[in-house]
Structure 1
């Protein structure tokens, strides 16, 4: 195995892209390539790649994909300069848990994205 890139199902692609741009992600590719009715997008920030897709785009092929908003998924994202990143976004997002030192040597905080998913950001001591 070489990498893992989650494909997260969302209700509103444009709102999702805007939210993740706020976190410093850039859009690498979309389907379709242009237009307002996007059904899929790939975004990156450093070595982190996340794909987003609308439910409707796969409803016929994979009807097993369903959920209610939020819950059941937490993305754990490692980064450097966690305090600076937290200060940059804390007033623009829903913070679930502020900066906190863990027993396993990390500093972490958690937010909720526009789809109800939880993102935990962490910086581990060297």
Structure 2
């Protein structure tokens, strides 16, 4: 195995792209390549890559992909300069847990994205 890139299904892909741009992610690939009717995007920030796809785009091929709003998914993202990153986004997002030092030596905080997924950001000193 070489890498893992989650493909997360969302109800509003445009709102999701806007939210993740607040976090510094940019689109690296999309379907279609141009236009506003996106059904899939790959976004990256540094070495972190996440894909987002509409439920409708796979409804016929994989009807098992469904869920209610939100879900039991937490993305744990390591980064540097966590204090600066937190200060830059804290007033633009829903903060679930503010900056805190964990028993295992990481500084972390958690937010809720626009799809009710939890993102935990961590810096390990």
- Let me know the Cα RMSD of the aligned residues: 0.6
C-alpha separation in 2, matches of 1:113 and 1:14: 13
Unaligned runs of 5+ residues in structure 2 are none
C-alpha separation in 2, matches of 1:124 and 1:112: 21
C-alpha separation in 2, matches of 1:92 and 1:104: 28
Match in the other structure for 2:112: 112
Q: Work out whether 1:66 is the aligned partner of 2:69.
A: no
Q: Work out whether 1:88 is the aligned partner of 2:92.
A: no
Match in the other structure for 2:34: 34
Match in the other structure for 1:47: 47
Match in the other structure for 2:4: 4
TM-score by structure 1 length? 0.98
Q: Work out whether 1:124 is the aligned partner of 2:124.
A: yes
The count of corresponding residues between Structure 1 and Structure 2 is: 125
> How far is the alpha carbon of 1:111 from its aligned partner?
0.2
TM-score by structure 2 length? 0.98
> How far is the alpha carbon of 1:71 from its aligned partner?
2.6
> How far is the alpha carbon of 1:123 from its aligned partner?
0.3
Q: Secondary structure at the residue paired with 2:17?
A: helix
C-alpha separation in 2, matches of 1:111 and 1:91: 11
C-alpha separation in 1, matches of 2:104 and 2:35: 45
Match in the other structure for 2:100: 100
Runs of 4+ in 1 over 4 A off after TM superposition: none
Match in the other structure for 1:56: 56
